[in-house]
Amino acid sequence: MVASISLYSALADGINTVTVSTRKPPADALNPEVKSLNYLNSVMAKREAHLRRADEALVLNLAGKVAEASVANVFAWTEGVLVTPPSLDGALPGITRASVLSAAAELNIPTQIRSLGQAELMRADEVFLAGTGARIVPIGQYDKVAIGNSKRPIYERIEAAFTEMTRCSRPQSQSQSAAYA
């Protein structure tokens, strides 16, 4: 039984991300709101990121807007607002993304679902990823540009709230499961 998954190892400084050449298909070709088993774009994006010695890929849509990472949603703290791309830009509106938005609301952190450009992402005070396997992961560098000043108060608040939110819903260990069998 697998108790936890760790997709990234060095989280203290945040992960290193790069924009990859793989693009998110347009919504009229492949609806981003449908979670399917077609992970080809994600695999290609992740492979390119690894070949470029980065931890994760940032995938753009055909219009050049940020869609998502290869396996997670993107959030940016910029100008006093937590921003995440809309599904029309290619972001999957999944459970973890909804949980982050819910945690932000509970913490009175203003949020917007709107398009994000690469330059805005580079100027952001904080950027992090959120996904089921990734959980909440800070980005330290994007295309060799350091994000913010290494202080991450919004990430830390969201990550703590997310951890508390998911604490009760984590799988039981085998010994705990056996006790109830």
Give the catalytic positions in this structure. 35
Tokens at 141, concatenated: 């560098």
Number of H helices, E strands in the chain: 5, 9
∠ at Cα 136 (82, 172), nearest 5°? Answer: 140
Tokens at 22, concatenated: 């793989």
Tokens at 75, concatenated: 């959030």
What is the chain's Cα-based Rg? Answer: 16
Beta bridge partners of 130: 73, 136
Nearest to 104 by CA among 170, 147, 166, 160: 160
Q: How far is 27 from 15, CA to CA, in rounded Å?
A: 29
- Residue 54, number of CB atoms within 10 A of its CB: 21
